[in-house]
Structure 1
């Protein structure tokens, strides 16, 4: 009875009052968990998962019998579709030592510097469209790989192929991934190459927007105030 009450309360809390757009990655992950609450399927392998509500949604349990993932004892981890190494690659704060440590007085660069000095970077890092839930085996193997075609997989998790440079989702989820890259490119200027744009557009056409993607995107658009036209057009 108590668990049912908590489920209802979470839904009421999320949709019964307005949420402000997150200002950082930590806030974004807390909020995106609530946005996905009614769906509870990992994004790349479609595994069912549940929350341990007593942990305030910090702990998860993945039911691998509902999907093609063979590895056991999986949890859910939230990753960025477009990694920070990719959207931050041309930022001055990532490449030049423009920040100064208040403790040592030394100049430094990198993610910490960007979070401190670059408002545009902070918006990219907290963008709700860029977060998806995946099984821990994928998250643990994911370093700085972008989502792209994998010619020769070094390891496979369920239907997801991975190597040192790229991650390739199954065909029925390629559109979901592509629409994040196309959106992030339009909103923040990722400087995608022509070939990358063509590849993501092909994925976009290969896999249409479904009800889950549409519903989640509509909620994000209300909270964040930004429109992912690649999803919005498919929701009509």
Structure 2
């Protein structure tokens, strides 16, 4: 009798899945199955579906790779390396295609789970821990296929990044032509381009808040600094809206950028949020008081565009801004073939 009262309670709270109910009624339990709470986003059912939606729907009209800003074709999944001045480091074949990059690596949120550590025990056959988790762990699968954590990236860069941590890399280790991502295998650390640091920070914050994958205090301070220095631009906000239409939830660290990350994470007002978490006590909580209407970047007092920050093509609002970055700021990285026309995907269309 007690078991059926539990069933009714679950239905009332809408927090249990059908699998939960079956296990309660039958008395069976499966410790390898972790049912995702009912308030999680409705992510694609499979990784293949997630990639298809990412390339063809989320990036429709904005087919530019993360990190490097190369043009890509959503159908063939081929990269136009010349469009951004990309030079393969050692794997031209993988550099020619796009892959779905997990900003928070699957290893980071999966390696402590039973399905990852003991795949034979959980899945009953030999397979990788990652594959087993995709089959048996609903929470892992939901997070793994979450479009908020997925970005189209050049395959070689995705492979080289591996599951390394984000951080600052000493020196200027550039190995991919005009693409400014820095990957140091010796310390297992990756420093993204300046113009992607904010996006990465807000993605990491989102994964922590949504799924409870805790960040270290050191990482959180780094991401808070990146979040301040690189606010959401037009495209990041549009991407966020497109994902929300599909998954039912957006990334609040983008849509509520005017609030502190700590207040969004804890749900407490900024004045009562835990102190000492931000990277700097003098850090502005909101250079933008409300969800920002960032257009082309910071406007110059004269009405033109600013050279700070230097941007990739994926961050440009128009060909006019791209021309300004090339001619006034010396941002030659956006003129991959050196023909004087930056961001071909934008300027050649205009």
| TM-score bracket, shorter-length normalisation | 0.7 to 0.9
- The answer to which structure has the higher strand fraction is 1
Q: Which structure would you say has the larger RCO, counting Cα contacts within 8 Å and 6 or more residues apart?
A: 1
| Count of residues in correspondence between the two structures | 207
**Larger-gyration structure (1/2):** 2
Q: 2:276 matched to which residue of 1?
A: none
Q: 1:15 matched to which residue of 2?
A: none
CA distance in 2, matches of 1:100, 1:50: 36
Q: 2:163 matched to which residue of 1?
A: 144
- The 8 Å contact of residues 146 and 167 in structure 1, kept in 2 or not, is answered as yes
Q: 2:131 matched to which residue of 1?
A: 112
SS of match in other structure, 2:256: helix
- The answer to which structure has the higher helix fraction is 1
CA distance in 2, matches of 1:182, 1:60: 31
After alignment, is 133-142 or 180-189 more displaced? 133-142
Of 56, 79, 84, which residue of structure 1 is paired with 2:106?
A: 84
Deviation at 1:48, TM superposition (A): 2.5
TM-score, length-normalised on structure 1?
0.79
What RMSD in Å do the two structures reach over aligned CA positions? 2.3
Of 73, 79, 82, which residue of structure 2 is paired with 1:61?
A: 79
Unaligned runs of 5+ in 2: 1-41, 258-290, 293-350
TM-score, length-normalised on structure 2?
0.54
Q: 1:93 matched to which residue of 2?
A: 115
Pairing 1:65-76 to 2, within 5 Å after superposition:
66-71=83-88, 74-76=96-98
SS of match in other structure, 2:200: helix
Deviation at 1:153, TM superposition (A): 6.6
Q: 2:66 matched to which residue of 1?
A: 43
Task: State whether structure 2 residue 187 is matched by structure 1 residue 163.
Answer: no
